[in-house]
Amino acid sequence: MPSQKRLWNDTARYENALDQAVRFVARLSTLTREAIRQADEAVSGRNKTVRDNSAVAVQKKVSQLITETEHWNHVIKTMQSGKDVHLAENCKGSKLEIVAGTEHEFGQYLIDQSDGKFCEENPDRDAARASGMPFRGNVTGHKYIEKTTGEKTDPHYSLELTGGKSE
C-alpha cells in the first residue's frame, strides 16, 4: 500500500510537468521547422538577397534554439557524466534556471531523477578506476539519462569525451 500512495503523490506532484514538457517540445519543434524552412530558402532562394537574408534568419533561429536549450543541455550532460547537479562547479546555475523557468515543474522532475546533493563525496572517477571500485556519484541521474535517451555512456569516461568539461 505505501508504494501506491507514493505513486499517487508523485503523480500529483508532477501533474503539470508533462504539459510543460509538451509545450517546451512544441516550441522547440516550431523553431526547428522555421530554421529548416529558412535554410531551404537560403540554399534555393531566387536571388542572392533572398538567400543572404534567409541565411541570417537561420542563424538567428539556431541561436534562439541554443539559448532555449543551453541550461537543459548542461544539466543533462552533467547527469549523463554522473556528476552532482547540485554543485556550483558542475551545473548548479543551470539547474536553478530550469527549476525556476517557464517549465519549472518539468525541470524539477528532471532534477528529482538525480541522486541527492553531495553524491560526489564518494570516490571520483579516476580514483574509482584506479582502485577497481565501482564509480559512484550521480549514479541514479546517469542511469535515468541513459535509459531515457538510449545512449550508453560510461560515467568514467564521459567527461573525457567532452575534453574534461561537462558542456
> What residues does each domain of the chain span?
2-161
State mean pLDDT over 91-118: 89
**pLDDT over threshold 70, residue 127:** no
d(CA 80, CA 93): 17
Give me the pLDDT at residue 82, please. Answer: 83
Q: Which residue has the higher pLDDT, 159 or 97?
A: 97
d(CA 33, CA 26): 10
Identify each DSSP E strand in the chain by its residue range: none
Average pLDDT in the chain: 80
- Cell 522532475, located at residue: 109
Are 83 and 90 a contacting pair, CB within 8 Å?
yes
From residue 153, how far is each of 88, 144, 159, 162 by CA, in Å?
23, 12, 10, 12
Cα Rg, the chain, nearest whole Å: 20
Are 107 and 98 a contacting pair, CB within 8 Å?
yes
Are 83 and 158 a contacting pair, CB within 8 Å?
no
57-87 pLDDT per residue, tens? 999 999 999 999 999 999 999 988 888 888 8
- DSSP state letter for 14: T
**pLDDT classification of 98: cutoffs 50, 70, 90:** very high
> Which of 151, 149, 90, 79 has its CA nearest to residue 114?
79
